[in-house]
């Protein structure tokens, strides 16, 4: 089982992005997903910039995958998608079915992303037939449901599981960050730049609940499967996806590396650098915001 660095879901300055991936070259991750998968208005790095970065990371020995935009709305979104597919140097992660169409037409093997909604082996088999060679289950998948899919998964299909980070839960046409600032989406003034880990949303009693990230809504809780490595191994999961955060990402990766190596204290080391409370309810077939330890408490 190895580690993947998921696509950057937030909007950071160009310098911060470049510094982040400069550091990532040295992290023990086998695979790096690059590209803007959340909002087409974010433009500090455009596709050619991501491709240049991809070349650098590939030269540093990383398996590079380009992550496609999850919500396609306009013709210009499709143009970017076509350019990403046509470039051909790197594998693409398809995050909606338009990308699946383009990739299968191009005969390009691809990664089937977690927003394709693969909940059963039949759908996974459809994707395998179209060229998927790696897939991610929906982030709400439970261990039991994943086991049921993998029991009949197509031969050779590699499974990657979202194993760390705030959960990407929903996508909208509306930008909730712009809404918070009373700005129209078309003139959002790129306020996402002020929130490198999103904007916290709490209930009226001050309980952290969700995180606003432009058109994306994430959990407030930080999903972590660091305590579930034996189960993940047993299922035959090939990779764990770690979702970028603005601070201490190197230490997050290090904690997972240590845990995979069976070193003691990895989970505690991770807990010290998590930007919110741990959650793992989904994995146990429960509400996503729950955590195993609280239930036992």
Q: Taking CB under 8 A as the criterion, which residues in 65-104 touch another protein?
A: 70-75, 77-78, 81, 96-102
Q: Out of 29, 111, 136, 289, which residue is the one contacting another protein (CB under 8 A)?
A: 289
Which residues between 22 and 61 bind another protein (CB under 8 A)?
none
Cβ-based nearer residue to another protein, 138 or 275: 138
User: What does each C-alpha distance from 121 to 25, 127, 179, 286 come to in angstroms?
Assistant: 35, 10, 39, 22
Span interacting with another protein, options 20-28, 51-59, 270-278, 284-292, rule CB under 8 A: 284-292
Give 28 or 154: the residue with its C-beta nearer to another protein: 154
Please tell me the distance from the alpha carbon of residue 90 to that of residue 110, in angstroms, as a whole number.
Answer: 9
CA distance 93 to 68: 6
Q: Per CB under 8 A, which of residues 160..189 are in contact with another protein?
A: 167, 169-176, 179-180, 184-186
Residue (100 or 226) nearer to another protein, CB = 100
Return the residues of window 142-161 that contact another protein according to CB under 8 A. 144-145, 148-149, 151-152
Q: In what order do the strands lie in the sheet with 91-94?
A: 132-135, 110-112, 91-94, 63-67, 31-34, 2-5, 239-242
End-to-end Cα spacing for the chain:
31
Question: Which residue's CB is nearer to another protein, number 185 or number 248?
Answer: 185
CB of 173 to another protein, least distance (A): 4
DSSP H/E element including 211: strand 208-213
């Amino acid at each position: 089982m190895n580690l993947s660095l998921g696509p950057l879901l937030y909007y950071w300055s160009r310098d911060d992005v470049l510094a982040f991936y400069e550091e990532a070259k040295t992290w023990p991750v086998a695979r790096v997903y690059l590209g803007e998968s959340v909002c087409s208005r974010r433009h500090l790095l455009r596709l050619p910039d991501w491709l240049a970065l991809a070349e650098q990371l590939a030269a540093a020995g990383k398996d590079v995958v380009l992550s496609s935009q999850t919500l396609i709305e306009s013709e210009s979104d499709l143009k970017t998608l076509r350019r990403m597919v046509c470039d051909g140097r790197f594998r693409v992660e398809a995050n909606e079915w338009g990308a699946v169409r383009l990739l299968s037409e191009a005969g390009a093997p691809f990664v089937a992303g977690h927003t394709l909604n693969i909940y059963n082996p039949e759908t996974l088999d459809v994707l395998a037939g179209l060229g998927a060679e790696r897939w991610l289950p929906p982030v709400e998948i439970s261990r039991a449901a994943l086991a049921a899919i993998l029991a009949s998964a197509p031969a050779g299909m590699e499974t990657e599981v979202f194993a760390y980070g705030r959960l990407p839960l929903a996508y909208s046409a509306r930008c909730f960050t712009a809404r918070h600032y009373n700005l129209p989406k078309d003139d959002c003034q790129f306020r996402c730049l002020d929130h490198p880990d999103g904007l916290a949303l709490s209930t009226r009693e001050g309980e952290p609940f969700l995180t606003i990230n432009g058109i994306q809504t994430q959990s407030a809780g930080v999903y972590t499967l660091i305590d579930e490595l034996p189960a993940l191994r047993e299922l035959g999961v090939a990779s764990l996806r770690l979702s970028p955060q603005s601070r201490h990402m190197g230490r997050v990766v290090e904690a997972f590396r240590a845990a995979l190596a069976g070193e003691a204290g990895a989970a505690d080391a991770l807990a010290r650098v998590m930007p919110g409370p741990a959650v793992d309810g989904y994995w146990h077939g429960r509400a996503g915001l729950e955590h195993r330890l609280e239930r036992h408490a």
